[in-house]
Structure 1
Amino acid sequence: MPKFVRYSLIVIVLIIAGLLVAPFFIDVNTYKTQIEQTVEDSTGRKLSIGNINASLFPWIGIELDNVHLANREGFTDRDFLSVQKLNVKLALLPLLSKNIEIKNFEINEPKIYLERQENGESNWGDLVSAQTASTESGDNEPADKQTDAAPALAALQAESLSLTGGEVVWVDGKAEPVTLADLNVGLTDVQLERPVAVKLSGKLSGNAFELDANVGPLGDLSKLDPVALPIQGHVKADNIQLAPFKALISGWPEQLGDINSASVGLNANIEQRPDGIRLGEGSVVLNSRIGLAVNWKIEMSKADQLKVSRAGLIVNGKDILEVKGSVKNLSANPAFQLRIDSQPLTRSWLAEFVPDLNSMYAGHPSAWKQIEIGTLVAGDAKQLEIRDMQLKLDNELVQVSGAVVYGVPDIRLRIAARDLHMDPWLPQGKEEPQGQTPAAGAGGGAQQASAAEPDLRFLKPWRVTAKMQAATLFLRGMEMRNFNVSINGSNGRFDLNPLSFKLSGGNVKEKASLDASVYPAKWKESVHITDVKVGPLLKALADMDMLEGTLSMDTSFRATGLTEAGVKTLNGRGNLMLRNGKIKGIDIPDTIRKFTNPAAASAGPNETDFAQLSGSFVVKNGIANNQDLFMASPLLRVTGKGLVNLVSKTLDYHVEPRVVGTLIGQGDSSPVRKGLTVPLHITGPFASPKVRPEISAKTLIQNAPALLNKGKMGGALGNILGGKKGAQAAPADQPASQPEQPVTPEKKILKGLGGMIPGF
């Protein structure tokens, strides 16, 4: 053997022997105090190390036991950081060529305690500020050392890196602590040329979770791009209780029940490819009073672009919504385009989550049954654009398009429908029995709330531009064809201009405005009606069945308040013309006939036909005053005046019908009563008005020419006027000497009629 080789082997043996025996002669614990003091000088916190062990061959190893770093002064008296055991073993020979080959890197039972006080101070803030100050002062590693670090990491290899039994405790003010316990992290076969297996598991406030993934290969670390780093993994957390996090959750909905009994489950697959494409698929489940689940499948072809292949919402096991689309510019100004489709949702099913739906429609004879929506929406952080919304209301299609600007808000909508029945969607609660007052907090609360005057001042900053068209709109018994309405609003004022539709053979045009900037809200409107059959209109608007005929009308009203109480503030004026109709509940010819022939029976229905009825009116504080009523029919000419109280829904009206034809066929035996005028007083509620003649001596005298004829009534009246009949002798008990009072013709008439018209 050559001497060179022999001497080389001897040197190597001596070095190995020295490395093996050195730890027995060098006590590394002598450096423990120096290490502890250096850390305390740098952080202001006490560091204690239980024991240090070292080895030099075949591995360079160091082992630290019972390491404790104290908490920041002024915080809880417990360790900020503690490690039961830290063990690092490095291969010796690769270090000679500046390669780091780790046999094992092991951390046992590390515990970290993170605390933030109510004033915002944290127990790690001083460490961060110290590091920042060191960086700002230029106290950094030299550039050549930073450069040398890259080749060393490039040759990094490790059989295993592990953390076992870890614990992280997070305390935020007075909130309940959140604990991440039983934390285990394992990396196997760590190198740069093949994928690295990563396993992570633990318990978050007692709830287990786990992650299995393959990361890499890492390749050239100097060219490492995290966005293109290959990753495949699976995350699973079956049951994470929300109670420990309730202080961090604001606005927890009451419908979801008690947050202390709620939990979340997560199951997801994630993938990132070398070309930057990222994929995700999985589901999140909320277990609460209402079971909610969201499942998704997404793809990110670029760092700032997201494609939603599927996102579905499931409520109590029922599929509700499905969303598809894309989101761009995630890092700057996100913009989205999404297709949203719902399943048919029934009112009975929705009432499980919105119980008020039951009371709102409890008294409705035929309330709506289901709703369904499908829409394409697009927008960004500033606005939402509705490009095509298909809204099915009980299988009636409503199409909506427009946009909503969030900040103002500014709403622009166009709504179109073919046939649309609105009555099923108008709330109608259950009526309480008459005389029964609902107890406070009981079922009557909904009625009281519905009668309360709404405060609309929140609408003041809104801007609204809306148009609606419907081929036929059905509302409160009205069939409105060619329905069109435009609404424009800003600064609390909303104008309806115009509203137009065809109704009962005629046309209706309306202009209206609402001032929502004050409370109560104020409104005004003007209506122009031509050739509309008035019966269905009055039934729909005021639940009145008093008139029939063809109506033309112009009105202008204003009032304060939107509830029935606001009728007291109603003011305005109008005029109307009715043709070829009838007044129901009032039979003027029958009243006249009974005046002339009290014994006659009623001849027909309780109504009065007319060819024309016209008049104008002024409304003041809910009371309409008319002074120029005129009605014409082949038999009668009627004039009238009086009051219509819209607050109490009662009449106080005086009419004077004058006979211009014959009552033959109306139950009268006299061929002609021309000129006969019988004033009538109409009083009482709209539903059942009462009519009585206003008879006085003056009335009878004025009607004497019409009453004086060859019939029985005329003869009697003639005898009275002539003094031949109807005069009676003085009673026997009346003194004969009493002077006789003069009798006027009026008194003679009244006295004579007293025995001839029953009840007069």
Structure 2
Amino acid sequence: MSALGREFPIKTADSEVLKRVALQARVKGNPKRVSVLDGVFELDDSKVTFSVSVKDFSRPDVAFDVNLDQIDLDRYLPPSGKKKPAEKKKKSSPQAPEKGKTDYASLRKLVLDGKIRIGTLKAHGAKIQDLYLKISGKRGLFKLNPLTLKLYQGNVSSKGAFDVRKNTPKTNISVQAKGIQVNPLLKDLMDKDFLEGTAQATLNIALAGDEGEMIKRTLNGKGDFLFKDGAIKGIDLAGMVRNTAAAFGLAEKGKKKPRTDFSALHAPFTITKGLVDTKKTTMVSPLIRVLAKGKANLVKETMNFRIEPKFVATLKGQGTTEQLSGITVPILVSGSFSSPQFRPDLEALLKQKLKTGLPDSSELKNMLKEKDSKEGEAEPLEEKAKGLLKGLLGR
């Protein structure tokens, strides 16, 4: 384009891309069939070898085999920058027309059989290796089986189906993952540093539609996530079981970033029409056992959870040498995804103390002194928990 005295029409994050393009292939065919053999396509640092054949053009029967050595898709994205504020649109009296439904008639005619291999792929910061994908389909039913890849020292295998035999498409997906290092993945993908550990997961979901709200309303399935030998950063559950003042009071300045180490964090769940339900999410750590149960509504974007931390040992090794003392405080989490609310379950707390006995005057005095000594010297736990939850929700 520079030779023509014109600016290239596509802006990319990396100005050095789209400077080298090459294509070669052998093509042969007749009125009923076309084949592309020994294809080689080079774009900057990436090289694709491929073959394609198409027959029966009225009802296309397509077969392909594609092999890509490596590509960094982030280089080809639009350059990052501050977006200009959108201009306020004038309100119009007539109601905007509804979005038309997608016509899948052409897909019902398509016959497809293809394979894709990618050596290394980077997208939105995340890196994957050795991706292999096989796709087949005819008469409106397309199957993805298998999809395998390596991800941050772990492996992912998946299969799925996309059914457009009727006007409303249906999709089902199953995923199995194991051995994935969570912390570097979250740092690269989301620029977040709130969770460590090795993850394994299973997920089986089914949904209908091709529009966001309908997908959420029809989402059904189940899943199971297990994190081993890790830590939750930004929140100190040891402080939550120390006593009420520590749980909802303040952390001292100058200390390391709060964290809760765990040996296992297990989260099984079901999804019914967009309602995620977990009855027994558990965390096991040297000091405490945590049970969480509740529901999250993906359609309304609201949640209602109860978290029950229970101590099992002394606090030594969790930022203090004190023996465990004080009250275990159940936590209630409610509200919207964007603005969750955290509060102690005082009713359960009182019932617990009625069973074990109320604190004597010296205990109350010490708790008040501890709270006063820490007043104004750190960030409330609720703010930490909100930040952690927003990180988990990607907001």
In the alignment, which residue of structure 2 is the partner of 1:615? 267
On the 8 A contact 1:593/1:600 being kept in 2, the answer is: no
In the alignment, which residue of structure 1 is the partner of 2:311? 659
Structure 1 residues 633 and 542, CA, compared in 2 at 3 Å: closer, same or farther? same
Identity, % of aligned pairs?
A: 28
**Distance of 1:756 and 1:513 partners within structure 2:** 60
1:638 equivalent among 290, 302, 305: 290
Q: Deviations over 1:491-516 (max 9, x none)?
A: 11110000001111111000011113
**Distance of 1:502 and 1:463 partners within structure 2:** 29
In the alignment, which residue of structure 1 is the partner of 2:23? 373
Matched, 1:590 2:239: yes
Matched, 1:414 2:65: yes
Q: Deviations over 1:597-648 (max 9, x none)?
A: 5776345424422110113101123231100111101011111101234446
Matched, 1:553 2:201: yes
Structure 1 residues 599 and 606, CA, compared in 2 at 3 Å: closer, same or farther? closer
In the alignment, which residue of structure 2 is the partner of 1:679? 330
On the 8 A contact 2:280/2:291 being kept in 1, the answer is: yes
Aligned amino acid, residue 164 of structure 2:
A
Structure 1 residues 551 and 644, CA, compared in 2 at 3 Å: closer, same or farther? farther
Aligned length: 359
**Distance of 1:755 and 1:542 partners within structure 2:** 38
* TM-score normalised by structure 2 residue count: 0.75
Structure 1 residues 546 and 317, CA, compared in 2 at 3 Å: closer, same or farther? closer
**Distance of 2:308 and 2:153 partners within structure 1:** 32
* TM-score normalised by structure 1 residue count: 0.42
Q: Deviations over 1:703-758 (max 9, x none)?
A: 659x67xx9426779xxxxxxxxxxxxxxxxxxxxxxxxxxxxxxxxxxxx99999
**Distance of 1:545 and 1:457 partners within structure 2:** 46
Matched, 1:393 2:46: no
Alignment gaps of 5+ in structure 2: 92-96, 381-395
Larger radius of gyration: 1
Structure 1 residues 430 and 583, CA, compared in 2 at 3 Å: closer, same or farther? same
Structure 1 residues 385 and 612, CA, compared in 2 at 3 Å: closer, same or farther? same
Q: SS of the counterpart of 1:605?
A: coil
Instruction: Note the 1:67-82 alignment, pairs <5 A.
Output: none
Matched, 1:524 2:172: yes
Alignment gaps of 5+ in structure 1: 1-314, 319-345, 352-357, 441-447, 718-753
Aligned amino acid, residue 397 of structure 1:
K
Structure 1 residues 581 and 483, CA, compared in 2 at 3 Å: closer, same or farther? same
**Distance of 1:538 and 1:520 partners within structure 2:** 34
Larger displacement relative to structure 2 (404-413 or 546-555)? 546-555
Shift of residue 657 of structure 1?
A: 0.7
Aligned amino acid, residue 403 of structure 1:
S
Aligned amino acid, residue 333 of structure 2:
I
Q: SS of the counterpart of 1:399?
A: strand
Larger displacement relative to structure 2 (663-672 or 430-439)? 430-439
Aligned amino acid, residue 329 of structure 2:
V
In the alignment, which residue of structure 1 is the partner of 2:33? 383
On the 8 A contact 2:45/2:71 being kept in 1, the answer is: no
Indicate the RMSD between aligned Cα atoms, in angstroms. Answer: 4.1
**Distance of 1:685 and 1:430 partners within structure 2:** 29
Matched, 1:629 2:281: yes
**Distance of 1:399 and 1:590 partners within structure 2:** 57
Aligned amino acid, residue 571 of structure 1:
N
Higher RCO (CA-CA < 8 Å; seq separation 6+): 2
Instruction: Note the 1:559-598 alignment, pairs <5 A.
Output: 559-565=207-213, 566-593=215-242, 595-597=244-246
Q: SS of the counterpart of 1:460?
A: helix
Aligned amino acid, residue 694 of structure 1:
D
On the 8 A contact 1:552/1:578 being kept in 2, the answer is: yes
Aligned amino acid, residue 354 of structure 2:
I
**Distance of 1:540 and 1:452 partners within structure 2:** 37
